[in-house]
Chains A and B, each alone.
Chain A
Amino acid sequence: MQYIPFGDAALIIKWSNSISEKVNRHVIAALHQIESAALPGVLDLMPSYNELMILFDPCCTDAGQLQSAIMALPPPAKQNAKTSTVLRVPVCYGGEYGPDLSHVAGHCGCTEKEVIDLHSGVHYRVYMLGFTPGFCYLGGMPPALACPRKEKPALRVAAGSVGIAGKQTGVYPLESPGGWQIIGRTALPFFNAHQAPYFLAEPGYTMVFYPVSVEEHMELVQQFSSGTYTAESFITQSSRQNIKKPLSAPDDLLKSKSLKERGKDG
């Protein structure tokens, strides 16, 4: 772990030069530790894969003072690696909402169904957010799904689009131009500009995707827009073992429970 002052208004704490869940756990633990300490002069905290950037008011404090204050804090609460906050993301794969699903299947040498099973069959870690409001950098996509970006970015990618770019997968929180291969769409609002909570995901969350039909997707869209359904009900606390189980049989899960129940109990 290294403290690196960056100019007169930022201090970086850097753990290593690599991307790993272990390193990112340190980042998130320090984020919560420093936030709850409410150190004077701290304006904002910006966690990323392997760094925590602390932005401060140079008229209140400086990098040296801040470093001493942080080093004097009691060690961060040990996080239980076995439990995690899980965000379950319903995705309508293929068709109109996932125009590039067949391209990805072709590139990966498998069927569309296999792409869906693979994509929705694992759990992902939200390492950090950035790029656009609410965009999650996810780790954990099966390497078999890796597919290069489009040569020519699309001018308009709808909010909620689920895409693959290289070894990464992610959800577009806003309509924007983009070069990702779009395999589906979720009704979950990752960024809600109208009311708090504005953002659905936090760094450190576990995210899982599960397939829904067009009808179920439409129903969700309608329920979100009418406010009868809140996105937070898709967030649960789970032990890691329990996350995997339902994913091995997503179809059964789909048939056995109503959307509302599924959203609630994960």
Chain B
Amino acid sequence: MAKVYLTAAGLLTILQDGGRTGYQRYGMPVSGAMDALSMRVANALLGNAPEAPVLEATLSGPSLVFEKDTCIAICGADMSPEIDGNEIPMYESIPVRAGDVLRLGNAAWGCRGYIAIAGGFIAPGLMASCATYLPAGIGGIQGRALKKGDILEYAEPSGKVIDRKLGKEWVDWLKREEPFLIFPGPELYRLTRDSIFQFLTNPYTLAAESNRMGYRLQGELIRFKKGAGADIISAGIPQGTIQVPGEGQPIVMMADRQTTGGYARMAVLAQGELSRAAQLKPGDEMRFGEARPEKAMELLKKERELVKLARSC
């Protein structure tokens, strides 16, 4: 085992992996990397298991010093990573030497950057996951965000140098700016036709209080039909669910969402849109479009192809 020292924490840096599935019936939020695709690609570039523990940095990244030679890969938000002052590329495997200082800055693009390390970071698991879930203070390192002075452990380096690099066209695809595809939800019928039309036409802005639990959307308020309320009998809300409370401001449920909710489920993002959504930050715009099943499947296939490619390029 080897160690990495945090000489700066960044704004909100947490250990994440694929999250805790299988416990939602007990009210246990899934958590896990917001941008699961970036996590998978970063891990694939190093030959790791797709959901091996990674660092998720938010808006501004940490600085790390490595104890032993190893390889890393950085994907997701562009935080202008550098080693000992020299800029390093993202979306490829990068050898680091003992004593190297990796520094990430502010996100020039995106919101969440992922740092993977050969063999993965090592942290105690809870329900087969080390995902940090801050509201309950569990997972990761003592259930909290990382801070300056923390020491993390990573797998003993194998000594093997990995040399993989993802083509620019893939990175461009990840950063595509298109409407987010949504499927109708079980309570969509409660909304006025006008509101549904508005929602698919006008842009919405992520409010300041948007976080890993959910994004509050500012824009045209959603109206309910006469006699139709916003409240439902509490029921399941998968990631990407767009709920509408009575005041009409939609909320997109993200990785740290509660397992159940009591507001009308108007729509849900296509699975292949979740990772792209994770790169939005407060103030960013979100547009929506109606998903066709074939198009949604195309996105998923492309995601799979990308991870496969990252593993073999």
Contacts and interface: CB of A to CB of B under 8 A. Distances in A.
Interface string A1-37: 0001111111010100111000000000001000000
A7 B270 contact: yes
Interface in A192-232: 193, 198-199, 202-203
A6 B185 contact: yes
B202 interface: no
B238 A8 contact: no
B260 interface: yes
A7 B240 contact: yes
B295 to A, nearest CB: 10
A259 B236 CA distance: 37
A9 B238 contact: yes
Given A7-B270, A8-B271, A46 B25 contact: yes
B260 A48 contact: yes
A133 B27 contact: yes
A53 B236 contact: yes
Interface in B165-206: 182-183, 185-186
Contact of A7 (B126, B143, B183): B183
A8 B183 contact: yes
Contacts of A43: 21-22
Interface size grouping (class) on chain A: 35 or more
A50 interface: yes
A44 B22 contact: yes
Contacts of A202: 25-26
B127 interface: yes
Contacts of A137: 234
Contacts of B259: 46, 129-130
Contacts of A51: 233, 235-236
Interface string B197-220: 000000000000000000000000
Which of A5, A48, A134, A173 neighbours the largest number of chain B CB atoms within 10 Å of its CB? A48
B270 A4 contact: no
A96 B270 CA distance: 49
A132 B238 contact: no
A14 B186 contact: yes
A71 to B, nearest CB: 19
A174 interface: yes
A135 interface: yes
A7 B268 contact: yes
Contacts of B186: 4, 6, 12, 14
Contacts of B235: 12, 48-51, 53
A8 B297 contact: yes
B190 to A, nearest CB: 12
B243 to A, nearest CB: 12
B233 A17 contact: yes
B234 A49 contact: yes
B312 interface: no
A31 B28 CA distance: 17
A257 B241 CA distance: 50
Nearest to A28: B25
B136 interface: yes
A128 B182 CA distance: 28
Interface of B: 21-30, 126-127, 135-138, 143, 182-183, 185-186, 233-236, 238, 240-241, 258-260, 265, 268-271, 291, 293, 296-297, 300, 304
5 contacts: A8-B296, A46-B260, A133-B26, A198-B28, A198-B126
